[in-house]
Structure 1
Amino acid sequence: MTKLQAHCTRWLLAVSLTAGLMQSAGAGEPVALATDSLREQAMALVSQQQDAQALPLFEERVRRQPGNPQALIDLGVALARLGRLTEARQRFDEALRTSSIHALAHDNLLQLQLNMARHAYAAALQSGETPPSADTGLQWSPAPTRTPAAPPPVANVPASASPAWIATPATDFSAWLRPLLASLVLLALGATAWASNKRPQAVPPVDPPTSTTSPPVTQVVPENERAVPEERLIEVYRLIGQGQLTRALDAAESLARDQPRFTLAQLVYGDLLLAHSGVLRGFGRGSAQVPGGQARQIAPLQLEARQRLEAWQQPPPPGTVPRELLLLPASVRQVVVIDGLRSRLFVLEHRAGQLVPTASLYAAIGRLGVGKQDEGDLRTPLGVYDITGRLDSRQVGDFYGAGALPLSYPNEHDRRLHRTGANIWLHGTRAERHADAPFSSNGCIVLSNPDMERLMHDLVPRRTPVVIAERLEWVSPKALAERRSAAIALAESWRMARMQPDPERLLALYARSFDNGVQGQAEWRRQLAKDAAEHGTRERQLSDLMVLEAQSGDDALFITFREVLRGSVHGSLRRQYWARERGQWKIFSEGVLE
């Protein structure tokens, strides 16, 4: 017997028990003793994994006590264990129909769940259509009579029909069982792994790094212990993976109530309602029958479900950093890294000598993905950027939700590669939505408003670098040692040349195509000569050295440092853009930030 069958049979048995069906069959005591003996013999065989041998005993018990709900339930479980699912469903349904009032209560429960699912799907699709009232199709109980009437024969209790907008499951038990655990994007994603691990755990701290090595990273942990909406959605998935459908439904109902604009949560809630009713045909399939709903609207929500679940199932390995972060000084408190194709934004912070992920957030990107080249191409740029400002909701309007953090696109590297466009921001969502679909923006990075409010509060403009990658590659800091050392050597060669009386040695480090947006190579030569005349060969040091690498089709290094002359306390903050020219690293742009 498969785990799926075991989960479902346990659920069906629980439903039957709560329906109040475990009552006496009304037979005489000798017959009860005989049937009890049959059950004991059958259960003994089941305990020995001899299900096929036990089945005739369960069948005989039903023959001796027709209409006994306990006997019918046991036979249904036995049939399900042997894979005879259609027959098992028939036995469970027959057990429910042994009482007309229980049958009516069950029919009303199914109808109510179907109506509630319809409302949840309408909220998920935001179709603008109002579904029928939640009490549609519910039936009142029969009026009580003064003279007790004999209960009708089992065969005369009609089975209710499901509403026309949902396929009736009466003839195919396997189609009724499969969605209970398989249709919520869980089998393909291995959601049962959540049964033993609710959330990723932090790993113990490692030894402090050396001064020239970026600190190692601990495993991503939830941003805090509060149940944020995404954590609550993952908890629903975890409960489904454990086969705890009733608890999963309760959790989904609570989430959908608290976050009515969380469309994915509404869709999962609708699916769970249909799963309990036994009529779900696949992830979000019931939504196609909602007024204004179309099957194509489900695809973005399916992708969002996969992106969110994969991010929690596959966090960055412990002790790793994104390969773009070659060196990050302690003076840079935070860095933002974005995994474009996985719809994920991470915030990493320096804490106690380590670079620690403090947030892992769902984020939407451009409709056509990443790799922006032209204005209006609906793509999100790849590269290294600065946050240039902070715009609150009063300054940007409802379209940007909680506010925006503009990025420095296009930077000097983008202009060198002839990339066009502007106004690439991190921003929130419109008020009517909790989150946007994974690929839905005009090129910006879009987060839920609660997540955006946190970033607006925590991130410091002009002090927080933002790295956008097609796919982040998390590696051990040791794996970066060679490239890190080579980058540091470039900065050191510039420092040494800066102190030489011959300016040609320094000029040899600059590309022929040098252009910082204000000065070309000729103007920059004059600027360097002026600096040399003012400061001569004075000793100088480079502090707060930061080295970031861009992986965007043309490798580039972004080196930032503070140049402090001997005898000075403070120095100018410089940014250099390095790229290869005829196989040699050259500076193609440079500027003083402050």
Structure 2
Amino acid sequence: MVRAAGLLAVALLAASHDVEARLVSPPLLLDAPAAPAPPGSPEDRLIEAAHAFDNGQARLALDRVDALIEDEPTFRAAHYLRGRIFGALAGVPAASLMPEHGEALQALAEELDLRIARSHLDDARHMQPSAVLALPDHLRYLLTVDLSAARLYVLENSTEGLRLIADRYAAMGSAGFGKEREGDNRTPLGIYRITEWKDDASLPELYGHGAFPVDYPNDWDRHRRRTGYGIWLHGVPRDTYARVPRSSEGCVTLSNDAMAWLQDYIDIGETRVVLAESLQWATREAVASERTRFQARIDAWRNAWAQRDTDHYLSFYADNFTTEQHARPHFAAHKRAVNAGKSWIEVELRDIAIFDYPGEPGLRLVSFEQEYRSDSYQSVSHKRQYWRLQEDGSWRIEREVELEEREITPTAISAEARP
């Protein structure tokens, strides 16, 4: 009876509406009663209802969206879709139903469109983000967020390459992406680590199930003089299932059930999060080919250093190269003096990660653990290098950051025993 009354009200509204009012979808049909909804996530069910609406199947669309709302009464995008269905039956454009809330409706329309676009991800199951060239073996999972698509992806680091496990809707800052200063309400572009877990009990209701803070600003952000703090992946208040695509002060927000699901894939202090404007997908073979080519460049840099060919070694550094303390001239003078005093040098790199840096065309982040050995000094350090593609097509190091260095006891092997 409730459904019949609702349809009668719509019919009366349509009859009183201007005859020239346009429909906002294909003609809707009062098709046969729908079968029970198949199981699926709330988003899958929303997409199914939206597809039925686009195909003109009014009863199926309404049955599906009503069942979804009964299970998830705070899913505002589902309520918006229901309003569009009734508006189409009445011949009323969705924005005309409540014109005083036009901006809110537009944000919900964007959320619905982005969620529907997710259904075209099947090809990505056999591909990986082209920006991720290499990960250390000990990092089992990687998180990537395509901010323009409002999508978070969990990828598994396998022997065949990165494998897409699952994805979830994720909203960003109210002013979009590309954070530069404190209070600009933008989500940063970059590569970050998850630093801790903050549970529900320790946070205000705004953060819902909990939060994963990341290490913004990282060393590249500081080099770029970006300011701000407190960038998190977090949940949402329980009076809503999800937030519209641009709605936070710069954080990435997910539904509370998505946050609970995500916890299984996080290794605190280790898991990386790539925040990108837009992800490009490529075959694993194409990524492997580019990785091999670029790793040869890294190996050439390492070999030049180990062979104490200082001129060749310094040729890998761009003219505008800097460290946190020095520019290229001071760095070059220091390296010449150190290398000249050595009878042999060995350099070993482990746990290499290689990323195309988000928001910085032609910039590549390389991080690794380095073991340095010579006749007079031995150490282990963690480094990040930022390689820039030059006009001549070569890659050169623009920035180097030593995160930690620990001197160790030199191995007692004579120089004559060295290769």
- What band does the TM-score fall into relative to the shorter chain? 0.7 to 0.9
Q: Does 1:577 align with 2:390?
A: no
Q: Does 1:254 align with 2:63?
A: no
AA aligned to 1:492 is D
Q: Which residue is equivalent to 2:397?
A: 586
Q: Which residue is equivalent to 1:49?
A: none
Q: Which residue is equivalent to 1:120?
A: none
Q: CA RMSD in A?
A: 3.8
Q: Which residue is equivalent to 1:229?
A: 42
Q: Does 1:282 align with 2:88?
A: no
AA aligned to 1:308 is R
AA aligned to 2:193 is D
Q: Which residue is equivalent to 1:520?
A: 326
AA aligned to 1:390 is W
Q: Is the 8 A contact 1:499 1:536 kept in 2?
A: no
Look up the SS of the partner of 2:90 in the other structure. coil
Q: Which residue is equivalent to 2:127?
A: 320
In 1, Cα distance between equivalents of 2:55 and 2:95: 21
Q: Is the 8 A contact 2:179 2:186 kept in 1?
A: yes
Q: CA deviation at 1:270?
A: 3.7
Look up the SS of the partner of 2:175 in the other structure. coil
In 2, Cα distance between equivalents of 1:316 and 1:428: 29
Look up the SS of the partner of 2:275 in the other structure. strand
Q: 1:271 to 1:502 in 2, by over 3 A?
A: closer
Give a deviation string over 1:379-432, Cα, whole Å, max 9, x none: 222222222222222333222222222222222222333333222221111222
Look up the SS of the partner of 2:267 in the other structure. coil
Q: Is the 8 A contact 2:181 2:228 kept in 1?
A: yes
In 1, Cα distance between equivalents of 2:342 and 2:247: 52
Q: Is the 8 A contact 1:384 1:549 kept in 2?
A: no
Q: Which residue is equivalent to 1:239?
A: 52
Q: Which residue is equivalent to 1:137?
A: none
Q: 1:414 to 1:312 in 2, by over 3 A?
A: same
In 1, Cα distance between equivalents of 2:289 and 2:21: 57
In 1, Cα distance between equivalents of 2:213 and 2:388: 25
AA aligned to 1:453 is A
Which of the numbers 160, 165, 168 marks the counterpart of 2:15?
A: 168
Structure 1 runs not aligned, ≥5 long: 1-104, 118-160, 184-197, 199-224
In 2, Cα distance between equivalents of 1:182 and 1:558: 52
Look up the SS of the partner of 2:117 in the other structure. helix
Q: Is the 8 A contact 1:402 1:452 kept in 2?
A: yes
Which of the numbers 258, 270, 274 marks the counterpart of 1:463?
A: 270
In 1, Cα distance between equivalents of 2:58 and 2:86: 10
Q: Is the 8 A contact 2:320 2:398 kept in 1?
A: no
Q: Does 1:557 align with 2:364?
A: yes
AA aligned to 2:80 is L
* 361-370 vs 411-420, which moves further: 411-420
Q: Which has the larger radius of gyration?
A: 1
Q: 1:259 to 1:407 in 2, by over 3 A?
A: same
Identity fraction in percent: 31
In 1, Cα distance between equivalents of 2:27 and 2:275: 35
Q: Does 1:297 align with 2:104?
A: yes
Q: Is the 8 A contact 1:487 1:547 kept in 2?
A: no
Look up the SS of the partner of 2:74 in the other structure. coil
In 2, Cα distance between equivalents of 1:466 and 1:553: 16
In 1, Cα distance between equivalents of 2:197 and 2:340: 39
Give a deviation string over 1:244-303, Cα, whole Å, max 9, x none: 43233222112111111110112223444566xx42523364345xxxx62332111111
Q: CA deviation at 1:502?
A: 6.2
Q: 5 Å matches for 1:477-516? A: 477-480=284-287, 483-501=290-308, 506=313, 509-510=316-317
Q: Which residue is equivalent to 2:168?
A: 361
In 1, Cα distance between equivalents of 2:265 and 2:341: 40
Q: 1:515 to 1:409 in 2, by over 3 A?
A: farther
Q: Which residue is equivalent to 1:387?
A: 194
Give a deviation string over 1:424-458, Cα, whole Å, max 9, x none: 22111122221111112222211111112222332
Give a deviation string over 1:87-145, Cα, whole Å, max 9, x none: xxxxxxxxxxxxxxxxxx8xx85544578x9xxxxxxxxxxxxxxxxxxxxxxxxxxxx
Q: 1:582 to 1:593 in 2, by over 3 A?
A: farther
Give a deviation string over 1:308-337, Cα, whole Å, max 9, x none: 101213544453222211223433211112
Q: CA deviation at 1:169?
A: 5.2
Structure 2 runs not aligned, ≥5 long: 29-36, 374-378, 406-419
* 504-513 vs 407-416, which moves further: 504-513
Look up the SS of the partner of 1:341 in the other structure. coil
Aligned residues: 389
Q: CA deviation at 1:562?
A: 3.1
Q: 1:226 to 1:503 in 2, by over 3 A?
A: farther
In 2, Cα distance between equivalents of 1:259 and 1:329: 40
Look up the SS of the partner of 2:152 in the other structure. strand
Q: Is the 8 A contact 1:509 1:587 kept in 2?
A: no
Q: 1:227 to 1:481 in 2, by over 3 A?
A: closer
Which of the numbers 220, 223, 240 marks the counterpart of 1:416?
A: 223
Q: Which runs of 4+ in 1 moved over 6 A?
A: 522-536
Q: Does 1:434 align with 2:245?
A: no
In 1, Cα distance between equivalents of 2:75 and 2:131: 33
Give the strand-richer structure, 1 or 2.
2
Look up the SS of the partner of 1:227 in the other structure. coil
In 1, Cα distance between equivalents of 2:265 and 2:404: 22
Task: For CA contacts below 8 A with separation 6 or more, give which structure has more relative contact order.
Answer: 2
Q: 1:344 to 1:263 in 2, by over 3 A?
A: same
Q: 1:480 to 1:350 in 2, by over 3 A?
A: closer
Q: 5 Å matches for 1:517-556? A: 517=324, 519-521=325-327, 537=344, 539-556=346-363
In 2, Cα distance between equivalents of 1:322 and 1:547: 12
Give the helix-richer structure, 1 or 2.
1
Look up the SS of the partner of 1:230 in the other structure. helix
In 1, Cα distance between equivalents of 2:369 and 2:259: 31
Q: 1:414 to 1:580 in 2, by over 3 A?
A: farther
Q: Does 1:400 align with 2:207?
A: yes
Q: 1:370 to 1:432 in 2, by over 3 A?
A: same
Look up the SS of the partner of 2:242 in the other structure. coil
Q: CA deviation at 1:589?
A: 2.0
In 2, Cα distance between equivalents of 1:404 and 1:516: 33
In 1, Cα distance between equivalents of 2:313 and 2:276: 32
Look up the SS of the partner of 2:153 in the other structure. strand
Q: Is the 8 A contact 2:181 2:227 kept in 1?
A: yes
Q: Is the 8 A contact 2:148 2:277 kept in 1?
A: yes
In 1, Cα distance between equivalents of 2:181 and 2:170: 22
In 2, Cα distance between equivalents of 1:264 and 1:356: 30
